[in-house]
Amino acid sequence: MNREFEWGVATAAYQIEGGREDGKGDSIWDTFCHEPGRILNGDTGDVACDHYHRFREDVALMAELGVTAYRFSVAWSRVLPEGVGRVNERGMRFYEELLGELQAHGIRPYVTLYHWDLPQALFERGGWLNPDSPKWFAEYAEAVASRFGGRAADYFTINEPQCVLGGMNGTEQAPGMKYTLRDRLSAAHNLLKAHGEGVRAIRRAAPHARVGFAPCGWVMIPKNDSPAEVEKARKVYLGLWKNDPTGCVTFFSDPVFLGDYPKEYYLWYKDVLPKITDADRELIAQPVDYYGQNIYSGAHIDIAADGSLLWEGFPSDHPRTAMDWDIAPEALYWGPKFLYERYKTPILITENGMASHDFPCRDGKVHDAYRTDYIHTYLVALGRARREGVDVRGYFYWSLMDNFEWHWGYTRRFGLVYVDYPTQKRIPKDSFYEYRDLIRAHREGKR
């Protein structure tokens, strides 16, 4: 990994900002969190990490960490309270001041436009089921890119579209309503069209900008390096999953990077497909500059005699995080390798990290050796991919600091920085200093 490699951290607006004030409109997560029984312990993101008021302190922590890049999301309803129309100048000014602070510390911003927090006003107009939703997103994207100007040159349109649709398939994520398969597929198509409209809007407003897309998914890991096992893992990872079409990589990435959905999609779901036109395919496949992928874990798989997928996972005593996700460093080798072979686009690891039940010890420090080991082992795997020719341009640890972890509330901690929520005191963990030293060593060519 050379000096041009981007070393970063990532966050999301609803999870850290708080600041439900100064003209901000509500998002579906504001509404969802205030519905009784939705979130563990009745937690909400009303205050979260109070980043809205403490962003300068947080950027100073990034500077101490030595990162070269920061990936954050914009709260759509903070800048456009109704989702379209009137711009909230106080909300826009918050992000402009954040960008200025990053610029002053030499940290490159990567702006994510949508990290799950649809304006409530747009949800009440049908949300992603409304055929106008791609145009809403384009208006929002152009408003942001035109105001961010020369201070931001890197954008992601949609973060984890798989999880956006997850909120329409159960009750754990906002909006917490179970939609029919027909409606979910229609929403997915509109989401992809919104991506395409967003790319066009960003390029109109900021022709210098670089644009990406940030899906997610568990990596299928070969049980060994034999050609048969590698091909089996590749086939499943890059295949369409019949029982969960919107949960796999190719459902969203093939239309963006290859120009069309997997061919099986048209056959298996012909009775519930939305209308898909050549103009839609052209819109969705707008050229992008890099492929962002969020990778946390993986699984071993097998294929039954009838061709169906057997998800094997790992043994019950395999190390896991506080999210009960398997620790699988090899996912950061096989994932980028398979994705680069298929899509031939520069890759950024836009999220990778682990949750645990951290707490300050009697010396007042947070000793998280497990996270330090996690970062090292995953980066070793990523380094192997780069040495073998995979064009990986950067790594963003999730997350800079502990934050509101969706339906888990504040019970899961992913951060390099511990947040004491009652006082909002920030305490860098041992992993913070280890990541700092690792960045320094690589930038100085020592590792």
Q: Are the C-beta atoms of 366 and 410 separated by less than 8 Å?
A: no
Q: Chain-centre distance of CA 228, in angstroms?
A: 31
Based on the residue annotation, tell me whether 351 is a catalytic residue of this protein.
yes
Say how far apart CA 28 and CA 405 lie, in whole Å: 15
Say how far apart CA 72 and CA 122 lie, in whole Å: 22
160, 197, 405, 434: the active-site residue: 160
Going from the C-alpha of 7 to that of each of 89, 439, 442, the distances in angstroms are 32, 7, 10
Say how far apart CA 168 and CA 236 lie, in whole Å: 24
DSSP 8-71: EEE--HHHH-----TTPPPBHHHHHHTSTTSSGGG--SSSTT-HHHHHHHHHHHHHHHT-SEEE
Say how far apart CA 183 and CA 175 lie, in whole Å: 14
Encoded amino acid at 299, one letter: A
Based on the residue annotation, tell me whether 330 is a catalytic residue of this protein.
no
Q: Is the peptide bond before 27 cis (omega within 30 degrees of 0)?
A: no
Q: Are the C-beta atoms of 410 and 404 separated by less than 8 Å?
A: yes
Say how far apart CA 253 and CA 394 lie, in whole Å: 19
Say how far apart CA 413 and CA 15 lie, in whole Å: 12
6, 101, 351, 405: the active-site residue: 351
Q: What angle do CA 320, 322, 327 make, to 5 degrees?
A: 25
User: Which phi-psi region, left, alpha or beta, contains residue 386 (left: φ > 0; alpha: ψ -120 to 50)?
Assistant: alpha
Say how far apart CA 107 and CA 99 lie, in whole Å: 9
Q: Which residues are catalytic?
A: 160, 351
